[in-house]
Amino acid sequence: MKIEIIEEKDNPFLKRKDLMIMIDHAGQPTPKKDDLVKFLAEKYKVENEKVEIVYIFSETGVARSKAKARIWKEKPKVKKKEEKPSEEVKPEEKEEKGEKVESEEKSEEERPEKKEESKPEEKRKEVSEKSGEGEKSET
C-alpha cells in the first residue's frame, strides 16, 4: 500500500491541518480508517485521537482511493446536553403550593363536536341504493 499526500493545508483558525490523500492499494481492499489513522499519527507524531478521517472513496476499476483527513492540534470539545428528567407537578401538589389549577378536561359544551363519518361500506350502500332507484322502470 502506497500513501501519497496530494494536498496539505494549515488551518490556524480551526487549529488543524486539512489533508487530501491518494492511496494505491493494488491487490488489496480499500484501506480501513483505523489503518490510515495509525499511519498519519505516526507520520505527524500526534495521538490517534487527534486524527480524523472524513472519508475514503475508491475509484471504480482501479485499486486506488482518495481520502480526506484532518489532524487537530486541539481536539474540539463537544458539549453534550444533559437531559433533565421532566418535572411534572400533579394538580394536588399545585394546590398545596397555592398555584391556580386549571382542569385538564373540558366540559362537554367546550369540546368541539366531532362529525360522525360513515364507514366506506355504508357509503357504498347509500350510493348503490340511490343509483338503483333511478334505474327502476315499470314494465
Q: What is the average pLDDT score of the chain?
A: 76
Q: How many residues does the chain have?
A: 139
CATH 1.10.390.10 fits 2-72, yes or no: no
The confidence score (pLDDT) of residue 1 equals 85
C-alpha R_g of the chain = 35
List, for residues 13-57, the tens digit of each pLDDT value.
999 999 999 999 998 999 999 999 999 999 999 998 999 999 999
Give the separation between CA 81 and CA 54, rounded to whole angstroms: 24
Determine the Cα angle at 64 with ends 38 and 5, to 5°: 50
This prediction's pTM = 0.53
Element (H, E) at 120: helix 120-135
Contact 46, 71 (CB under 8 A): yes
d(CA 117, CA 122): 10
